[in-house]
């Protein structure tokens, strides 16, 4: 089976693995207080062009839950698009920590200023939660990306209204290396109060780097990590991986490779007159097929059924740094056969 199922199906990129091996029998202090984690943090700080608190966590849900619970008072809530990862695919982790998610429709997976403003206007008394944070993802759950102007507008809105802006970067590599992207890591650090850089979906074995730029969110964050079970005893194994990813741009090269594979697949589909469910901007492609095509393809390819639709389904095709050109060719060829 050829897999377009996700971007986290292999242990890790070779260079990342090598680092873990090379560490050999050296001893490191626990809980992320080691020189490898510190060096990885320095590499990231160089890229974001400012100082920040950087914490390495085991996974995305941990990042989201810990940052949100750390930032909000009991009566405060976070605004997110309906399709947001925290709203749909984290089994209520944010609510389990006591906070409501104020849902907005969004457009192509992205929050819109108008909807945020409406939430602010209507939440005006003590019978309602206080919107205190906006949560966005880049790239989004539907593979789209924020333009710099879009992010600036939301950031401005948040600052004017005393809200934190938190960006889920599980696939930040894919966003920053997308063809139409005009944001840098430094822009994101400047415009948000906290964000995380996803390792798991971009070549690491596990691990994400939470970057906190707003001083108000810094104090006690390691306590919050620990109580959320997000402080690994061997934190250094995540630090080493981020060293490998960030010391010479591997992080960006891997993401670019994933995007290039997606663009090749997109072009192949476009040439066959196929329409996309969402704009194809990064390494996730959403496309509707009739049931018989879905069935036929699913015999040789792994992918996720995203949504049942009339007489068929929207499927999600995900590429990664490990996707091979011939896998895409094979998919398109098989599609032609079925589609005849």
> Please, which of residues 18-77 interact with its own copies by CB under 8 A?
20-21, 23-31, 58-62, 65-66, 69-70, 73-77
Task: With contacts defined by CB under 8 A, name the span among 37-45, 171-179, 188-196, 229-237 that binds its own copies.
Answer: 229-237
Sorted by sequence, the CB contacts under 8 Å of residue 268 that are 6+ apart come out as 328, 331, 332
Pick out residues in 307-326 that bind its own copies (CB under 8 A). Answer: 322
Least distance from its own copies to the Cβ atom of residue 331, Å: 15
3 is an interface residue for its own copies by CB under 8 A: yes
Pick out residues in 187-216 that bind its own copies (CB under 8 A). Answer: 200-201, 205-206
| One of 89, 216, 292, 300 touching its own copies (CB under 8 A) | 89
53, containing H or E segment: strand 53-57
Least distance from its own copies to the Cβ atom of residue 15, Å: 13
Sorted by sequence, the CB contacts under 8 Å of residue 262 that are 6+ apart come out as 280, 282, 283, 284, 285, 317, 319
Pick out residues in 132-191 that bind its own copies (CB under 8 A). Answer: none
State whether residue 287 is helix, strand or coil.
strand
Residues counted in the chain? 340
Task: With contacts defined by CB under 8 A, name the span among 122-130, 161-169, 250-258, 266-274 that binds its own copies.
Answer: 122-130
**Total residues interacting with its own copies, rule: CB under 8 A:** 76
Q: Which residue is it, tokens 């600052």?
A: 159
| One of 37, 144, 228, 282 touching its own copies (CB under 8 A) | 228
| One of 56, 146, 236, 242 touching its own copies (CB under 8 A) | 236
Pick out residues in 240-259 that bind its own copies (CB under 8 A). Answer: 240
DSSP state of 149: H
Task: With contacts defined by CB under 8 A, name the span among 150-158, 176-184, 224-232, 275-283 that binds its own copies.
Answer: 224-232
- In the complex with its own copies, the residue whose CB is nearer, 48 or 79, is 79
Backbone angles phi and psi of 33, in degrees to 5:
-95, 40
211, containing H or E segment: strand 208-212
| One of 52, 67, 130, 265 touching its own copies (CB under 8 A) | 130
Task: Label residue 324 exposed, middle or buried (CB < 10 Å: 0-12, 13-18, 19+).
Answer: exposed
279 is an interface residue for its own copies by CB under 8 A: no
Least distance from its own copies to the Cβ atom of residue 190, Å: 26
218 is an interface residue for its own copies by CB under 8 A: no
- In the complex with its own copies, the residue whose CB is nearer, 109 or 131, is 131
CA–CA dist 250, 202 (Å, integer): 10
| One of 49, 96, 216, 309 touching its own copies (CB under 8 A) | 96
| One of 111, 120, 174, 230 touching its own copies (CB under 8 A) | 230
Q: b/e for 274-290, b at 16 or more Cβ within 10 A?
A: eebbbebbbbbbbbbbe
CA–CA dist 26, 191 (Å, integer): 39
Least distance from its own copies to the Cβ atom of residue 64, Å: 8
What DSSP letter does each residue of 219-269 carry, written as one string?
A: TTHHHHHHHTT---TTTHHHHHHHHHHHSSSHHHHHHHHHHHHHHHHHHHH
């Amino acid at each position: 089976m050829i897999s377009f199922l996700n971007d986290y199906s292999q242990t890790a990129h070779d260079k990342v693995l090598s680092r873990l091996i090379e560490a050999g029998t050296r001893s490191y202090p626990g809980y992320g207080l080691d020189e490898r984690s510190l060096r990885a943090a320095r590499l990231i700080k160089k890229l974001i062009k400012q100082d920040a608190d950087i914490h390495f966590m085991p996974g995305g849900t941990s990042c989201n839950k810990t940052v949100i619970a750390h930032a909000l008072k009991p009566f405060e809530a976070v605004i997110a698009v309906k399709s947001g990862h925290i709203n749909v695919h984290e089994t209520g982790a944010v609510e389990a920590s006591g906070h409501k998610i104020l849902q907005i429709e969004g457009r192509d997976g992205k929050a819109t200023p108008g909807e945020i403003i409406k939430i602010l206007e209507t939440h005006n008394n003590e019978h309602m939660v206080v919107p205190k944070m906006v949560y966005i993802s880049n790239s989004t759950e539907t593979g789209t990306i924020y333009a710099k102007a879009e992010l600036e507008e939301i950031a401005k809105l948040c600052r004017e209204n005393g809200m934190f802006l938190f960006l889920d970067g599980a696939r930040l590599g894919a966003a920053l290396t997308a063809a139409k992207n005009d944001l840098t890591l430094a822009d994101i650090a400047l415009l948000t109060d906290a964000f995380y850089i996803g390792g798991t979906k971009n070549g690491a074995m596990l691990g994400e780097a939470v970057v906190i730029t707003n001083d108000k969110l810094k104090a006690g964050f390691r306590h919050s990590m620990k109580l959320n079970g997000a402080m690994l005893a061997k934190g250094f194994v995540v630090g080493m991986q981020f060293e490998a990813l960030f010391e010479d741009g591997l992080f960006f090269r891997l993401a670019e490779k994933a995007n290039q594979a997606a663009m090749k697949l997109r072009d192949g589909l476009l040439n066959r007159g196929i329409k996309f469910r969402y704009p194809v901007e990064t390494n996730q492609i959403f496309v509707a097929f009739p049931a018989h095509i879905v069935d036929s393809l699913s015999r040789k390819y792994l992918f996720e059924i995203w949504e049942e639709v009339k007489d068929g389904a929207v499927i999600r095709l995900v590429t990664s740094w490990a996707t091979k050109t011939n896998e895409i060719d094979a998919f398109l060829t098989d599609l032609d056969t079925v589609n005849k």
